[in-house]
Structure formats: structure tokens, C-alpha cells
Amino acid sequence: MNVLTELSAARRAAGEEMITLEWTPLIDITEDDEGYLIKAELPEVGRQNLRVTVDETTLTISGERRFAFKRQFALPMNAGGEKASARFKDGVLKVHLPKNPDSGTGSVGIDVG
């Protein structure tokens, strides 16, 4: 713990800005033969304040409740962002990324239903 405290003090002394996240959503990631399911518990987050994107090999879930949050996950090469889907109900976001051996590159926004 002292190492972290010393590192933080050193960064502040060097002029680096420290960002402290007050809340990080709980995430479960499961895999089956057809794809990946990412389940995020997002209490007090409205659908209008939620954004889900897939950018080449990274899934990003971001949004706001009383303060902003952001979680990113490195994706396996066979995770197909082009056909990804997302559902948000009762404070739980479920993102499904089908397996696709010919996954393309680029950034894809996912409509949250």
C-alpha cells in the first residue's frame, strides 16, 4: 500500500493529473459455442446515458449516473462486433458478441435495446 501512496505522490509532484473512479460497474463475461455474453450491472444508469461500442479488438461500455464511468475489454480475434447486440433492462446491460472467424476491423456503435 505504501508503494501506491508513494507513486501517487510522485505523480502529483511531477504534475500528472490523477483520476480516481468512484464507481466501476460489476461485469460478468461468459462464452459458449456461438459467442460471448458480457453482462454489466448498471444500477441508476438510464438507457439515454449509456454507450456501447466495438472498436477493432476492444469493447467499450461507458455512461453516466451521478458521475461518468467507462469499462473496456480486449476482445478475442474471433469476436464479431458487426453483429453485436445489446439489451438493457432493470439496470442490467447484456452485450452479445457472436463468434465470427472473419471479423473485420473498424469501430461499430451498438444500439442498446
> What span, in angstroms and rounded, lies between the C-alpha atoms of 93 and 96?
10
Which pLDDT value is given to residue 113? 77
Query: Does residue 4 surpass a pLDDT of 50?
Result: no
Q: Say which range, 33-37, 68-72, 79-83, 94-98, has the weakest mean pLDDT.
A: 79-83
In whole numbers, what is the pLDDT of the chain averaged over residues? 80
pTM: 0.60
CB atoms within 10 A of CB 29: 13
**Neighbour order of strands in the sheet with 85-89:** 26-31, 35-41, 92-98, 85-89
Which pLDDT value is given to residue 28? 95
Which pLDDT value is given to residue 15? 59
Q: Which three cell numbers stand for residue 100?
A: 465470427
